[in-house]
Structure 1
Amino acid sequence: MASVNLELTPIHQCSVSGCTFNSDVSCHAPAITVGDHGANHCGTFLGLPTKHGSAAKPVVGACQLADCSHNTDLTCTASAVEMGTSASGETECLTYSAA
Structure 2
Amino acid sequence: MDISKIIDCDAVGCIYNRDKQCHTFAINIGDDLPVCDTFMRSNDRGGFDSVTGGVGSCKVKNCANNNSFECTCDGIHMHLVGSHVDCMNFTKK
Match of 1:97 in 2: 91
Match of 2:41 in 1: 47
Identity %: 26
What root-mean-square deviation, in Å, do the aligned CA atoms of Structure 1 and Structure 2 show? Answer: 1.3
When the two structures are aligned, how many residues end up with a matched partner?
Answer: 92
How big is the shift at 1:27?
0.1
**Alpha-carbon deviations, 1:30-63, whole Å to 9, x = none?**
100011x322210100112112111523210000
**Alpha-carbon deviations, 1:60-86, whole Å to 9, x = none?**
000000111100000000110011112
Match of 2:61 in 1: 66
Amino acid at match of 1:41: V
Give the Cα–Cα distance (whole angstroms) in 2 for the partners of residues 98 and 81 of structure 1: 15
Matched, 1:19 2:30: no
Matched, 1:34 2:29: yes
Give the Cα–Cα distance (whole angstroms) in 2 for the partners of residues 90 and 53 of structure 1: 19
Amino acid at match of 1:92: D
> Any runs of at least 4 consecutive aligned residues in structure 1 with deviations exceeding 2 A, and if so which?
none
- Unpaired runs of 5+ in structure 1? none
Give the Cα–Cα distance (whole angstroms) in 2 for the partners of residues 77 and 92 of structure 1: 17
- Unpaired runs of 5+ in structure 2? none
Larger radius of gyration: 1
TM-score, normalised with respect to structure 1: 0.85
